Amino acid sequence: MLEQQFRDLMAGVCAPVAVITTADRDGPHGATVSSLASLSLRPPLLSIALDRRSRLLERIVKTRRFGVNVLSAAQDDVAELFARRDADRFAAVAWSSADALPRLDEVAGWAVCELSQAVPAGDHVLLIGLVTTGVSVQRPPLVFGYRTFGTHSRFHLRPRPPIADQIAACAR
């Protein structure tokens, strides 16, 4: 009973949705997570959690590297695809290799991480990644809450002044 109560409680906590990737001699590999979190600025660290039985976890521990594809609001289909175990995930999406890791097209953000620590935590393993590359694109991010995908409700309405306006404002 407590397990279901905990699931219901955490369902109400909105979480970013990302596809974690790695590559080895067998090709590209990836899976959807909603456990992405910023951990430290100095040094730049982030964390993700993967099921102990995950084959992706095994591969990341071996390669010591992983990519973080922060999905955009228009990519709920990509989140669902990479959450499935029976799909040929990379054949169904546009992607390229960046820093020798699979990077999905049209994402809201991208990070390359060196595995810093792997910490057992219940039925998951918390991976702490040292960010060596970080790219942010101004696209609304995909979030997961109450067992459905969405985005921040006003992100797309937020005015984004051109960079030249911001530079000119700083020069005054």
Spell out, as residue ranges, where the chain has pLDDT lower than 70.
153-172
- Decide: pTM greater than 0.85: yes
In the chain, % helix, strand, coil (3-state, to 5) comes to: 25, 45, 30
pLDDT at 135: 96
Query: Could you tell me the two tokens for 100?
Result: 């020798």
Count of residues in the chain: 172
pLDDT in tens, 120-151: 999 999 999 999 999 999 899 999 988 888 88
Domains and their CATH numbers in the chain: 2-171 (2.30.110.10)
Find out whether the peptide bond into 44 is cis, omega within 30 degrees of 0.
Answer: no
pLDDT at position 128, please?
98
